Amino acid sequence: MEDLFANQYPAANSKNLYADIILPVPIPKWFTYSVGLDIQDQIGIGYRVMVQFGKKKILTGIVAKVHQKAPDVYQAKPILDLLDDFPVVNALQIKFWSWMSSYYCCHIGEVMNAALPSGLKLSTESKVQVHPDFDFDNPGFPMDDREILLLETLSKHDEMNVEQFDQLLPGKTSHKIIKSLLGKGAILVYESVREKFSPKTEQRVRLTSKYIGKEGLLESLFEDLKGKEKQEAVLLKYLQQVSVFQKPEANAKGLEKKVLTDHGCSPSSIDTLVKKGVMESFKVLVSRFEVPPVSDHGIELSPVQQEALQQIHRQFEEKNTLLLQGITGSGKTEIYAQLIKDVLQSGSQVLLLLPEIALTTHLVHRLQKIFGDKMGVFHSKYSDNERVEVWQGVLKGKYNFIIGVRSSLFLPFDSLGLVIVDEEHESSYKQFDPAPRFQARDAAIMLSWMHQAKTLLGTATPSFESYYNAQNGKYGYVKIDKRYGNAELPHFFLADILQDKKKNLLKLDFTRLLREKIQATLNRQEQVLIFQNRRGYAPYISCDECGWIPECEHCDVSLTYHQYQDELRCHYCGFKEKVPVSCHACGSQKITTVGTGTERIEESLSLLFPEARIARMDLDTTRSKYGYQRILEDFSAGNVDILVGTQMITKGLDFDKVSLVGIVDADRILFYPDFRAGERAFQQITQVAGRAGRRDKTGDVIIQTRRPDQLIFRQIIAGNYNDFYRLEMAERKQFFYPPFVKNIKIITKHKDFKTAETAAKFLKNLLMDIAAKKIILGPEKSLIGKIKNLYLFEIWIKLDRSGNVQQFFKQQLMDRIAELQADKRFRAVRFLVDVDPY
Ligand code: ADP
Ligand code: ZN
Ligand code: ZN
């Protein structure tokens, strides 16, 4: 213990101590600063510090390392100030950030930015303000001219940043004066004092202590209040709610003021009682999260689930990562719950990752019933304050189990024992923009490894990556192919779109079979899910005469038609305009909408089934924080007969009354131009089909397609994942696709077409020279060649899988990009690197 200490914190009297600082700027390396004597015995990993960066900026950064080695190329500047009494992040987190930046080819400052909730975040420009207690007439120290000038200017503004001072005081002396005024308590530096996080409080009232235990005194109080009915009412209500007579100690907690006012008490009468000294008002900190009471009904695992659990335990003895492939409805949640209980009992922490869209569903509720307020939820739609509250909860040990979206990987865990990634195949685990462009499943495995914890990947339809690793023995593998309670799998039907079209049986995109099945389901008063893939269905408008399609002025895409607001919008830059009344090319007024988005399908359904109650769930209808939840609750309460939706409806639904699932157009999923199209089609169709029929009811699934002969449909219907996998993998091997190679995509962006292209060409040439097993494709204009007035070019790299090759290549890649960026011609070019870009 003592040795370890000595390493991290060299003796307080040593003179040359240095700290490597992570700064929130896109620079590749840590910067080394010297640690002044005054803070040598406080500073450590994870503390926030203020440092000067470049000539003008003062930045706040995080200490990554403390050591005694002076930098050899530059003279270390001193740390200006230490901002915290305790570290805000731990050493494991910094290790994780560091791995992420090197694996995903980005700067550690970018990872830090993604990791810290902005309530804790360090702004790049430290703001300065006059200390509220500072008194100009009585400063308490002699001020020189420059200090007076600075303070006077500052007092005219709410706050200023350091750059503004530089203009005020020539000769770059401002930071010294700031430092000195800071030390004298005359000014404040923004981050160090005004925490952006504000805890939630509740206003409460109680009787002042003199009345407690003295019934006589209370009686005479009522005498005094005779005629003041409103005050009397307050007192009576209070005594009714808080049993002061039976339990005098209950008074200490008091009563929320709102309870009184909700019961009709007048706020001003409450205030009067407070003024009189009869009551007192006080504030308490409360949680932003309401947790339902724990009510674990002691669910027993079925024999099949028991067996799976045993196998998981057994295989975890040898393997760190395990793939649990359990068909939809096999009850993976109950198995997770058992595993989580065990790990929590051993004193370790647990993280359960869920894809974005599944968060507000029965799974969370189910687990909340078991784990109550030990479990924290980390949602992407949370406000900053809510995020900080979860962060603090983990830090202080309030939560030892977190269920959350991909960014919950960054919470300050210090002893994870188990990480579960549910629906591990989900593509929403990948972050596309901004950097770090990480895959949360893969990052979870690394995080777990750093904690020496176990990782469980759960899904009905594994990603090829995970299945591959399970097949070659790198991961453990456990399979459940029975539904809980032996509920039957649904019956599948293929409906031929072209056949129906020929026979004039296709109505508003619905085949006769699907229409008849919907009608029959409605007649039985059961529910229907209609699925439409999100990709490639954005509706647009087009001229019937000449084919003109309105496009965005800034991007290379057609504008999307939003029926609800009756406008056209660009999904890349937000540009919008009214729907034109006539064609801009030929002037014709015959303008129609094209595309079969969910909105259009909803409309068709309401024409086909006018008596049915129809709802829609997609990005548009779930934008608000609880939008998703509201629609699901409505559906589960039986207020909706048909629910139309995108990917979102493929998970988190577990409703007994759904007996029909319709897939409007399976071909678009299958024939999407991407080597993963088949894998995705298998996953999506299987997942959405899994929503049909539960327990004692068998459901039906109708797949509409123009190509019912496709082999993949037979494999999906038979649930034959393994056959499907083997055939697809043969192709991937032949054409060098993942998981046989690793992909890296690089995009160059510039406002000038030629510059973007030339930069990409130069980069490609530099990359060709790197001695690593690779194939480099491109550069080519991106599929969408212009976004927000910037032109985009792409380079694709297929890289050998071995760890050494990857590490070497990535390091070289970053060096070459830095080299190009130093070139005057390419200074304004942006280079985006995306590792595992899918
Ligand atoms: P999966 O996530 O594998 O698709 P779920 O965990 O949603 O499956 O379980 C399917 C249904 O079966 C749920 O309604 C769940 O409550 C129920 N269930 C699963 N296991 C049990 C069990 N051991 N006892 C009672 N109900 C169970
Ligand atoms: Zn645009
Ligand atoms: Zn036209």
| Structure confidence by residue, pLDDT tens digits, 573-616 | 888 899 999 999 899 998 887 766 788 899 899 999 999 999 99
Alpha-carbon distance of 354 to 429, in angstroms, equals 8
Cα-Cα-Cα-Cα torsion 718, 722, 726, 727, nearest 10 degrees, comes to 10
- Band of pLDDT at residue 353, cut at 50, 70 and 90: very high
Average pLDDT over residues 532-542: 74
Instruction: Pick the residue whose CA is nearest to atom 15 on ligand 1.
Output: 331
Q: How far is ligand 1, taken at its centre, from the CA of residue 48, in Å?
A: 46
Over the stretch 211-267, which tens digit does the pLDDT of each residue have? Answer: 887 778 888 888 888 888 899 899 889 988 888 878 888 888 889 998 899 888 889
Residue 220, CA distances (Å) to 214, 223, 231, 270 in order:
10, 5, 14, 19
Mean pLDDT of 664-677: 83
Per the model's pLDDT, the better-predicted residue between 148 and 424 turns out to be 424
Model pLDDT, residue 536 = 59
User: Is residue 195's pLDDT more than 50?
Assistant: no
The number of the ligand 1 atom at minimal distance from the alpha carbon of 301 is 23
Is 80 exceeded by the pLDDT of residue 361? no
Q: Is residue 695's pLDDT more than 90?
A: no
Omega into 303 within 30° of 0, i.e. cis?
A: no
Ligand 1 centroid – CA 521 distance (Å): 24
User: Residue 737 pLDDT more than 50?
Assistant: yes
Q: Which atom of ligand 1 is nearest to the CA of 299?
A: 24
pLDDT at position 6 over 60: no
Is it the case that residue 643 has pLDDT exceeding 70?
Answer: yes
Mean pLDDT of 174-188: 75
Ligand 2 center from residue 767 Cα (angstroms): 32
Start-to-end CA span in the chain (Å): 45
Rounded Cα distance, 601 and 664, in Å? 9
Does position 652 have pLDDT exceeding 60, yes or no? no
- Contact residues for 38 (Cβ-Cβ < 8 A; gap 6+): none
Amino acid 358: pLDDT: 58
Least confident of 88-97, 135-144, 516-525: 135-144
Beta bridge partners of residue 745, listed in sequence order: 796, 834
> For residue 696, is pLDDT > 80?
no
Pull the structure tokens for residue 164.
């503004």
Residue 199: what pLDDT?
A: 63
pLDDT tier at 129, thresholds 50, 70, 90 = confident
DSSP code string of 552-583 = -SSSSSBPEEETTTTEEE-TTT--EEEPPSS-
Which ranges of 404-556 would DSSP assign to H, the alpha helix? 440-450, 464-471, 497-502, 512-523
**Looking at ligand 1, which residue's alpha carbon is closest to its atom 9?**
331
Residue whose Cα lies nearest atom 18 of ligand 1: it is: 331
Q: How confident is the model at residue 155 (pLDDT cuts 50, 70, 90)?
A: confident
Sheet with 576-578, side-by-side order of all strands: 560-562, 567-569, 576-578
Contact indicator for 201, 283 with CB cutoff of 8 Å:
yes
Contact 716, 808 (CB under 8 A): no
Q: Which atom of ligand 1 is nearest to the CA of 422?
A: 2
* Per-residue pLDDT at 196 exceeds 70: no
Please report, as a single letter, which amino acid is at residue 210: K
pLDDT at 163: 64
Give the DSSP H or E segment for 48: strand 48-53
Of the residues 654, 658, 696, which should be mutated to test ligand 1's pocket, given the most ligand atoms within 8 Å of the CB? 654
Residue entry with tokens 């976004």 = 787
Which of 334, 424, 651, 691 for a ligand 1 pocket mutation test, highest count of atoms within 8 Å of Cβ? Answer: 334
Q: Express each pLDDT in 297-343 by its tens digit.
A: 667 899 999 999 999 999 999 999 999 999 988 999 999 999 999 99
Lowest average pLDDT, out of 196-200, 320-324, 562-566, goes to: 196-200
The pTM is what?
0.79
pLDDT the model gives residue 396: 86
Average pLDDT of span 511-537: 90
Nearest CA to ligand 1 atom 14: 654
Q: Is the peptide bond before 779 cis (omega within 30 degrees of 0)?
A: yes
What φ, ψ does residue 835 adopt, rounded to 5°? -95, 135
What pLDDT, on the 0 to 100 scale, is given for residue 191? 47
Distance CA 42, CA 50 (A): 15
> Given 3-state DSSP classes, what are the helix, strand and coil percentages for the chain, each rounded to the nearest 5?
40, 20, 40
Query: How remote is the CA of residue 540 from the centroid of ligand 3, in Å?
Result: 14
pLDDT at 560: 84
Cα(64)–Cα(62) distance, integer angstroms = 6
Residue range 490-510: average pLDDT? Answer: 93
- Write down the mean pLDDT value for the chain: 86
Give residue 371's pLDDT: 93
Name the residue with higher pLDDT: 646 or 306.
306
Query: Using 50, 70 and 90 to split pLDDT, how confident is the model at 700?
Result: very high
**Ligand at shortest distance from the CA of 592:** 3
166 compared with 348, residue with greater pLDDT: 348
* Count helices and strands in the chain by DSSP H and E runs: 27, 33
Q: Is the pLDDT assigned to residue 7 strictly greater than 70?
A: no
Which ligand has the nearest atom to the CA of 575? 2
From the CA of 593, how far away is ligand 2's center (Å)? 19
- From the CA of 546, the nearest ligand is 3
Q: What is the mean pLDDT of residues 497-525?
A: 94
The beta strands (E) that lie in 342-393 are given as 349-353, 375-378
Distance 580 CA to ligand 3 centre (A): 11
Cis peptide before 436 (omega within 30 of 0): yes
pLDDT at 727: 94
At 166 the pLDDT is 66
Q: What pLDDT digit, counting tens, does each position of 768-803 carry?
A: 999 889 999 989 988 888 888 999 999 999 999 988
Q: What are phi and psi of 410, to 5 degrees?
A: -90, 0
Average pLDDT of the residues in 516-541:
87
Write out the two tokens for 490.
């649904």
Sheet holding 790-799, edge to edge: 774-787, 790-799, 742-750, 830-835
Lowest average pLDDT, out of 468-477, 613-622, 662-671, 827-836, goes to 613-622
Is residue 663's pLDDT more than 50?
Answer: yes
Give the separation between CA 110 and CA 227, rounded to whole angstroms.
67
Name, of 146-150, 236-240, 299-303, 751-755, the range with top average pLDDT: 751-755
Mean pLDDT over 23-44 rounds to 86
Cβ proximity of 254 and 286 under 8 Å:
no
Residue 190 has pLDDT above 50, yes or no: yes
Task: Quote the pLDDT of residue 558.
Answer: 83
pLDDT at position 694: 66
Q: Which ligand is nearest to the CA of 303?
A: 1
Q: Evaluate if residue 3 carries a pLDDT over 70.
A: no
> Which atom of ligand 1 is the closest one to the Cα of 328?
4
Query: What confidence score (pLDDT) does residue 124 get?
Result: 41
Confidence band, pLDDT 50/70/90 cuts, at residue 4: very low
The pLDDT-based confidence of 453 (bands split at 50, 70, 90) is very high
What's residue 171's pLDDT? 57
Query: From the alpha carbon of 694, which atom of ligand 1 is closest?
Result: 11
- Please choose from 299, 484, 694 the residue to mutate so as to test ligand 1's pocket, defined by most ligand atoms within 8 A of CB: 484
d(CA 462, CA 459): 6
* Lowest-pLDDT choice from 13-22, 232-241, 595-604, 652-661: 652-661
Six token digits for residue 445: 């495995």
Ligand closest to the CA atom of residue 543: 3
CB under 6 Å to ligand 1: residues? 299-302, 305, 326, 328-334, 484, 654
Taking only the tens place, the pLDDT of each residue in 616-642 is 987 777 777 677 778 888 888 889 999
How far apart, in whole angstroms, are the C-alpha atoms of residue 186 and residue 239?
A: 49
Averaged over 495-507, what is the pLDDT?
92
747-778 as b/e: b if 16+ CB within 10 A: bbbbeeeebbbbbbebbbebbeebebebebeb
